[in-house]
Structure 1
Amino acid sequence: MNTQYLLRPIEQKNFQNFDLIYEGIKKKGLYLLEYNDSYLKDAFITQLAEQYINNGSNAMFLQEEMVRYSLRDIFLCRTLFKQNPHNFPSFSQMTKDSIALLKPPFAQQFNTLEQNMSIVSVESKYSSGFLEPMFKAIDENSRMKIVIIDSHTDYFLKTNLYPQLTRTAFKEDLTILFTSKNSSEESLNRNKPIYSFYLHSNYPDLYSQSDSKELTYDFELDISTPSNNRLKSYFTLFPSSGYCMEG
């Protein structure tokens, strides 16, 4: 958890627009998102990427490890939820045929999301495993505006990716979001001038709750700016749909 804040916090009860939850989300630069629960993190980052896609940009996900579920399924389940929040297959009920449940306007929405996102599994433990597919995608697609790198803070520090990713973000007008399980003793934002976010979660496994449509959880997003200002936002997650309710 991020604890080094020198100035008084600014607190807001909710955020009215998911892509404006912090200063400069649309600005180029490098950002860190720390978390405890992977499912909460994946629901959050896919909804954030969805905002970019809806605004005409492309999004890229670089995953170091495979998870128990697909990011594509989160997009699909969230679309089904938005189509009918009272009658939709919960995330645990998703199948390859679930897309047939989408009505034409929502089917088009999902097709747009699917066509404008790129999900790459990174097998290499070297920095080139992250950088090469990212540079290739940027060179081939000028609409790529957000890259989400799913790894660990310790790895990020040891490989010294910060300078190169920062140069790339500013040169290519990119938002690069680096996600990390909050297990490092050395927090990245204590060492670098970077925006950092922390998703608070005291739940052991939110994915295990994705079969129940009756459950919702309230969460806090803690934001630290390079000048150590602090902003706290609150949102509600529906685990069954991977949907973070705005405002």
Structure 2
Amino acid sequence: MECFRIDESGYTGFDLLNAEQPFQGAAAVSINDEEAERLIKEHFPSLQATELKYQALSRRPKNHPRLLGLLGDIHTNYKCVTYVCDKRFLLLLIFLDYAVEPFYFERGIDFYADGQNYSLASLLYFAGPTLLDKGAFDALLAAFQTAMKEKTRKALEDLVTAARKTKWNQLPEAIGPLAGYGAPECLSAIATPGVSTDAALVVLQSLISRMEVMADGPYRVEHDQSKNLLSYHNLLERYINHDDEIEFRQSEIASIK
């Protein structure tokens, strides 16, 4: 059976505002042990370590051509995919999903029509700090992810307060539901058990959507036993154990059946 090996980088749980790790990514490659060993020996013949570590290898300039050569070899000859997301942008999309969209849904408006949620997230990402006051906007996003995690009355009240401290009238389409109305439908959505700002599901779905396309048939997934990948492992188990017919469509080109 074909085997995809996966690994992740930049996982910080619910905290998508981590300044030291602004990106989260994961990669999958279909390769067997023998081929992996051959590639390591071919590109790093003098390497003594049992595992390739990019951070260690990249410190030495002489390794840069070897790393590029290895990547080129993998991309050319093996099925592989890498998914990288900007965690701040993802947080804004989640903010719109829970702190904005329910307000419009209650009023019969399709907030997702024509991808306008992505357009508004882009506007917030680039112009939000200027329009809304950078400090207040940052505090709003921090309050949002805290509310998504804690789901307490105080956390929800703090979120509304943070929204009202921004210059929200500059962009009422996005901040108005909380700042102007304290929209109960949005607060209820945020308080829903099980929803969070953890990006593991988004990243894993993106990987699997491409693995499904690349695989010739049934396949298995292997990963190491790092603490971060435990989240991915649990999600993989949920996918494996789900036996109903369903399709997840993340976009026009990304879907899982």
TM-score bracket, shorter-length normalisation = under 0.3
The structure with the largest strand share of the pair is 1
Q: RCO greater where, 1 or 2, for CA within 8 Å and sep 6 or more?
A: 1
Per the normalisation by structure 2, the TM-score is 0.26
Greater share of residues in helix? 2
